Amino acid sequence: MLAAGPRDVNDRWLGPLAEGRAIGTVAIVEANDSINPADLSTTARKSGSGWILNGAKMFVPYAHKADFVIVLARTGPGAHDIGLFLVEPNSSGVHIRRLNNLDMTRRFCAVELDAVVVPAQAALSGRQGL
């Protein structure tokens, strides 16, 4: 986040994260259990002054407790049109379901994104492609 996040996002989250007052997690694995960029079906499209995210992620650690989730999403048709977006779990359209049938010493979740609107500064790469 420090290298890719805008100042206001970093100001809001990095201090609390470092002090143990906030929890962040990362959502990379697609619903089809793939981490191959060619299989990336979670999308982020520009809309007005922000982005709209749609898709599903699996095996997201501690998403049910997280204050924010960094989501990997496709931003365009090209192979390198991929971005990272900071999503707050209490946003409209975010649905989190705990996966209780896995290793009970670690908590994993499925995260569904249904037309989740995030502001422009939620794009952590600072540009469309990484």
The residue ranges of every structural domain in the chain are: 7-122
The per-residue pLDDT for 4 is 61
The per-residue pLDDT for 72 is 95
The per-residue pLDDT for 2 is 58
* Distance from C-alpha of 113 to C-alpha of 120, rounded to nearest angstrom: 17
The per-residue pLDDT for 128 is 40
Bridge partners (DSSP) of residue 108 are 61, 99
The per-residue pLDDT for 104 is 74
CATH of 7-122, one of 2.40.240.20, 2.102.10.10, 2.40.110.10, 1.10.3210.10: 2.40.110.10
Phi, psi of 6 (to 5 degrees): -65, 155
How many CB atoms are closer than 10 A to CB 51? 22
Max CA-CA distance within the chain? 42
- Residue 14's nearest CA partner among 67, 92, 72, 71 is 67
The per-residue pLDDT for 36 is 86
- Per residue of the chain (130 residues), give pLDDT as tens: 655 666 777 677 777 777 888 999 999 999 998 888 888 999 999 999 899 999 999 999 999 999 999 999 999 988 889 999 999 999 999 999 999 876 777 889 999 999 999 998 888 864 444 4
* Distance from C-alpha of 102 to C-alpha of 26, rounded to nearest angstrom: 18
* Distance from C-alpha of 43 to C-alpha of 38, rounded to nearest angstrom: 13
